[in-house]
Structure 1
Amino acid sequence: MTVTEERPVLVVTEADDVTADMVITELNRRSVPVVRVNPSDIGEGLTVSARFGTCPAPVVGQVRTSSRTADLAHVRTVYWRRPTWPTFPNLSDNDARFATAQVRYGLGGTLYALDGPLWVNHPLCNAAADYKPAQLAVAQRLGLTVPPTLVTNDPSEAREFIAAHDQAIYKTLRWTPYERDGVPVTGWADPVTAAEIDDSVCVTPHLFQARVNKVADVRVLVVSRQVFAVRIDSGLLDWRKDYSALSYAVMDLPARMNKALLAYLDHFGLVSGSFDLAVDQEGAYWWLELNPNGQWGWLEGETGLDMSAAFADLLTQGKTHD
């Protein structure tokens, strides 16, 4: 077992995370120690031991894997990517729910308690920023242009809203794993008409939005105070449907837009995030959404932008740039 005497970067993510692999490769190139853990490995090569109220430091202890150990009092930064939590399929339903909760609030709570290292990003900040209605309101407060949007479970309100706009779309309020006949499916941004609205809308809130007459999309990755903007041309309503149809161009955003996006992250206490914008025929920018922990790895390969190096800089220094 390797005990990292230097201050390590703690990477918390699932086993199959190509984007995290890119950052870890860059950290390894710089000889920065890394301890990678995934909560679902608890009891099978992952151990946590933490003490509270017995030492001058608020939290002392270790997180151990089969090959490495991180001293909780000396973690440099925490890169919180896409961890998975155990489901304990061999236990009864009641025991599995109980055990999963203990891991979330035991291991997760111990890590959340670390206030010395820089978090990229703290999961509680990610969670606060993950509510689309809150995103829309904050974006408008910061002067960003937001498409007319309705969140409702009232069919009459939905029909009236859709009829009031030339074209409208439906979006999920949050991505959620979903299967149909055993096959995973994804909720895209899709056109919707008033005639399609029936009483099933009553069951849960839905998000309806006026369709932007866009000519291109823009994915913006912010790392600390560095802004990477990539124009995506596709002709698709939702460009995620067909990556083979996309073309990319590195671009610079207007200074006002950069300032607003940085202020947006500051509002939620985030040091990184992936924004989706749309550009209309007049060249105006429309704010669509933020993914606090969005994917960006493929964009580095397509554009050559040093995104993984920017993350490695941030995780190594343990502080944001002014």
Structure 2
Amino acid sequence: MLRLRIKDEVSRLKAVVLGTAESSGPTPRPEEAYDPKSLEHILAGTYPTEEDMIEEMEAFSNILKKYGVAVFRPEVLENCNQIFSRDIAFVIEDKLIISNILPEREKEVDAILHVLDRIAEENILHPPEEVHVEGGDVMPWNNYIFVGTYTGTDYANHITARTNEQAVDYLRNQFPDKTVKSFELRKSKNAKENALHLDCCFQPLGMGKAILHKNGFLVEEEYQWLVDFFGKENIFEITSEEMYQMFSNVFSISPKVVVSEKNFTRLNNWLRVQGFTVEEVPYAEISKQEGLLRCSTLPLIRE
């Protein structure tokens, strides 16, 4: 049995589900795109190939194994994009919450049944239908749960709006001893302005540091709350171009080890100056689908 344990984003990782790019299917048609960045690459003829994405994910998998992490992979579904395992479920403390995601992606949950079967049934939560939530919007951080959301009346018109107000209430009810802090995110059809998930514009790191992008937040006070919480001197503020490149979507294996994209030179240099070990992997092709390293992982156990 797997004894789930996730209290934060950075404690030493012991077990994780890493998505797979195998049999990820043909390039989607424009009307099938889930997000504006994918659409951009579909229209430009630069959408990533399965071969390149498999190579990138294997590089990531090898880094995780180098640090002794148990790496689970989904069963391969034919012609199905299963890269972003963070979307389908997430863990807080000893509970795994199955996301209510876009209906056409529900079969991705079936592909990790071999993992779910190793978790006690009472520790798997199925939120009611009206609760829309994806793991990219949810960050356990000790006594807090940070949640990215969108509560605009036009929620239903935004394919990029993934986590609603009901999800915030649901998490408050499930984890009454935690402070659930929600942040309104900027949703846009323009990929350079759209914060698809909270981890597209914010990422807490070890040693009290964090990555932030101001324009990803709709409410300046909420952005300012995070600046005050971490301290301005501990924050790496990214530009809109860097948000578009997914600079905040790095992944911590431990408080001092961060996996990052190899082209993120400005960020990676800063991380090293702060005392982090930076494990660089090629992930530029996968990033064309508006997701990166954190999006590809579903952490199950951290020390």
RCO higher in 1 or 2 (8 Å CA, sep ≥ 6)? Answer: 2
TM over 0.5: no
- Normalized per residue, the structure richer in strand is 1
TM-score, with normalisation over the residues of structure 2?
Answer: 0.29
Larger radius of gyration: 1
TM-score, with normalisation over the residues of structure 1?
Answer: 0.28
